[in-house]
């Protein structure tokens, strides 16, 4: 039986004082329309209270529709969207996001990637926050160095850095740098967009704890201190991926999974950039 209060209730307090649920549904690559609306609806029914979208995903409209249809009060669901950095002005672009989502304010607005450098967009992010269009601001795909460059010019520092993170991409130095600077890490693609699910080591750990490979990979992120974003468009998987607060991986299992890292514990956010 799904304990919805636990899924919705497990939160972390960010540096700016705002609380964020530790598990979110990500909707990257889910087309706008019925498929996205269904995934968000199923997640909300399963107890998720955190949805992660982006201007670049093109599906903010469906996220907003599903949120309204759910009847869940707006303030009970944490909504993230991301500034598409091929555009110029984050403070102007968030107005389109709010319109598409059908909300007055998002909970978190982050720079999707550091295209054309890490600092130029930050004043616009701060302006969006000062206007009340977002409660928190942050970044995504920023290395430790890029994070420091933003912090150096920031009035309000980023509360979040959302990066690709999993046992195979265990960016130990980046995580440590974020922790030192009181920047929370959000793990995206924790299943390696599905690739990590078939790994033999993950399967062995999963068998040992009587859980699925997906649950083990998501749980590893939580125990390494990150917020975790999981993506699925299948109802049973959305439900399964929420069952990660009722078991613990042992120190031995964590060490076994840590050893899968192929990044050398990097402080970089990406091995290859697309921008
Ligand atoms: P689908 O959306 O068809 O369910 P990541 O979170 O690393 O981006 O991985 C997402 C991918 O993993 C998607 O292709 C998704 O497929 C698949 N996936 C998500 N949860 C599970 C699960 N519990 N079991 C198997 N595959 C899953």
- Spell out the residues 6+ positions from residue 219 whose beta carbon is closer than 8 angstroms to its own: 211, 244, 247, 248, 249
Q: Is the CB of 231 under 6 A from ligand 1?
A: yes
Q: Which atom of ligand 1 is nearest to the CA of 241?
A: 23
Q: Is 164 in the pocket of ligand 1 (CB under 6 A)?
A: no
pLDDT digits (tens, 9 = 90+) for 262-273: 999 999 999 999
- Give how far Cα 168 sits from Cα of 156, 172, 191, 262, 265, Å: 32, 11, 9, 6, 10
Question: For residue 185, what are the β-bridge partners?
Answer: 161
In the predicted model, what is the mean pLDDT of residues 40-68? Answer: 98
Q: What is the pLDDT of residues 149-201, one digit of tens each?
A: 999 999 999 999 999 999 999 999 999 999 999 999 999 999 999 999 999 99
Pick the CATH number of 19-258 from 3.20.20.70, 3.20.20.100, 3.30.70.330, 3.40.50.620: 3.20.20.100
* Domains in the chain: boundaries: 19-258
* Alpha carbon of 107 to ligand 1 centroid (Å): 25
Annotated active-site residue in 57, 84, 109, 170: 57
pLDDT band at 105 (very low <50, low <70, confident <90, very high): very high
Which residue's structure tokens are 């290859």?
272
Answer whether 193 contacts ligand 1 (Cβ < 6 A). Answer: yes
What spacing in Å lies between the alpha carbon of 241 and ligand 1's midpoint?
9
Structure tokens at 163: 């990066």
231 CA: nearest ligand 1 atom = 6
Mean pLDDT (whole number) for 64-85? 97
Q: Which atom of ligand 1 is closest in space to residue 237's alpha carbon?
A: 23
């Amino acid at each position: 039986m799904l304990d919805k209060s636990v899924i919705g209730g497990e939160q972390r307090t960010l540096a700016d004082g705002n609380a964020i649920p530790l598990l979110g549904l990500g909707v990257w690559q889910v087309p706008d329309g019925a498929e996205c609306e269904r995934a968000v609806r199923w997640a909300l029914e399963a107890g998720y209270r955190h949805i992660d979208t982006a201007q670049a995903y093109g599906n903010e409209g469906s996220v907003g529709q599903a949120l309204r249809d759910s009847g869940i009060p707006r303030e009970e669901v944490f909504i993230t969207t991301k500034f598409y950095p091929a555009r110029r002005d984050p403070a102007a672009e968030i107005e389109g996001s709010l319109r598409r989502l059908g909300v007055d304010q998002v909970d978190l607005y982050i720079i999707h990637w550091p295209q054309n450098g890490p600092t130029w967009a930050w004043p616009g992010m701060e302006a969006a926050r000062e206007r009340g269009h977002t409660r928190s601001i942050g970044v995504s795909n920023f290395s430790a160095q890029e994070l420091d460059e933003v912090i150096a010019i920031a009035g309000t520092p980023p509360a979040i850095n959302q990066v690709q993170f999993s046992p195979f991409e265990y960016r130990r130095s980046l995580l440590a740098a974020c922790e030192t600077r009181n920047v929370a890490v959000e793990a995206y693609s924790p299943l390696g967009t599905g690739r990590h699910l078939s790994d033999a080591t993950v399967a062995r750990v999963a068998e040992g704890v009587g859980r699925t490979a997906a649950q083990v990979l998501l749980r590893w992120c939580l125990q390494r201190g990150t917020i975790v974003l999981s993506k699925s468009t299948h109802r049973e998987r959305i439900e399964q991926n929420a069952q990660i607060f009722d078991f613990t991986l042992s120190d031995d299992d964590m060490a076994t999974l840590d050893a899968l890292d192929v990044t050398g514990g990097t402080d970089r956010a990406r091995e290859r950039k697309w921008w």
